[in-house]
Structure 1
C-alpha cells in the first residue's frame, strides 16, 4: 500500500506540473481518484482511508495545499489573477482567493504586494518503518449478512479522546435500555457495540458520521419499532483485539491498522461500518479489552 500511495503522490505532482504550463490551461487539475485507484490496483475507498491515516490529513486537503503552494509562485510572479485562478481549476478570482487564503492565511493580493507570508506544503513521501518488537492480535472471520440495531445519531468525527456527543447519547439511555439491548444480541460481533457508519471517504475530522449504540442480530430478526437499523453485507472482517487504557489503547490500535497491519498484509478496507465490541472493562471504564471489527477484502 505504501508503494501505491507514493505513486499517487507522484501523479499529483505530475498534474501540478501540467497546471503550471501556460500552454495547457487547467491541465490535470481535476483528479479522478476512483480511476487512479483502479490504475494502482486498489479501490478509492481504501486509498483515501489509508492516505488520511498515514499522511495525517485527507487526500483532498493535501491536493488543495499542494495546488496553492505551486500557485503562490504564479501569484508572486505578477500574472493576472483570473488567469491563475482558471489554471488551477477555479471559475473566479473570489473562489481562488478563498482557497488560497485557507492555505496561506492571507489573500493573493497581499502576497503579491508583500511577497508573503506563505505556508508551503512540501511533497509527501511515505515510508514504512518495521519495528518488529510487537505483534497485533488479529484474526480474519467471514460473516454472513447481518443487521446492527440500536440507537443512532449523527455526530462529528473526532480523532483523539472521547467524543462528547457519543457520550451524551449513551448517558441519556436508561440503565434498563442497555440490558434490553444486550438481551437482543444474537450474532457476532457479540454484546453491546459501538458502530460508526457513513464516514467521509477522506476521514476528515469534524465531518459527520452515523454512530449507533446497539447490538448485532440476524437479518431475519424481529426489530423493535423504536430502534434504528443498519444493514451489513456479507464478507470478511479483520478483528483486532486491544487492551489497556480506554479509549487510548483502542485509538492506538486503530491507527496501527493503517500504519502497520494493512501495509504488511494482502487485505484492504471495503465499504461498511466499523464496529467496536467491548469484551471486558473496569467498572469506571478507565481500562478495557475491545475488539475492533473492520470490513476487508483480499487485494
Structure 2
C-alpha cells in the first residue's frame, strides 16, 4: 500500500505541474526510487509511457481552456509547454482529431483523459470521447413515471399502449429517456419522450429545457456487456469529478438503436451542464 500511496502522490505532483517543468528528481524523491525505475513500473502498470500520459493530460486541459476562454491559442500552447503554435497544433490534432481553431467551433467532438488514480483497480487509462454542444431551448413530451429503474418506465410504455399511441399521434416513436433523479429508496423519476415543437398533446406530459451547454457521450456496444451502464459509471466516477462541469438539469439518453435480438445498443448521453463554482479561497 505504501507503493500505491507514493504513485498517487506522483500523480498529484504531475497534475499540479502540468503547466510547469516536471522535475524527474522530484518524482524520484516522491516515489523513493530512481526515475528510470519509476518510468518502467508506470508503463508496466498502465501499458502507457509516463510521457504519453502527461501529454494526454496537458492536451485534455488545453482543450478545455480553448473552449471556455478567449485566450490566444499560442498563449495556451505555451502554458502547456509547446514552443510554437505549429507544434501544438500537430499534437492537438493527433489527440483530438481537430485543430485548436476547429475546437472553438460548436458541436466538436474532443477526447478526454482523466487523472490516473491507483487503487486495487485503476481509472483513467482509456480515453472518453465527448462533445460540447450549445443547444437552443427545446421541449419534449412523453410518459413520466417513478419506478425502481429507468428501464421500468420503458416497460410501462411498451405494455400499456403508450408507445403506440404517441407514435400514431406524433408520427415517430419514443426515443429519449430523461432521468430526473433518484429518491431515497432508489426509485428513478424517469420520462420516455420525444422532442416536440408543437402544442402539448393531451395525455402526455411535457418538459422544457432552456438554452444551454450540453455534454454528449456515446455508448455503442453490447447490451449484455452493460455498455450503457459502464459509460454512465465512467462519466460519474471519472469525467465529472475531474472536469469543471456539473449537471444542471435532467439528463437524456437518446436511443438510436436498442436491439436485444442482436445484443447491440447505440445510445447518445446528453448532459446539461454549467461550470462548477470556484472554491472559496
What's the TM-score, normalizing by structure 2? 0.48
What's the TM-score, normalizing by structure 1? 0.46
Structure number with the higher strand fraction is 2
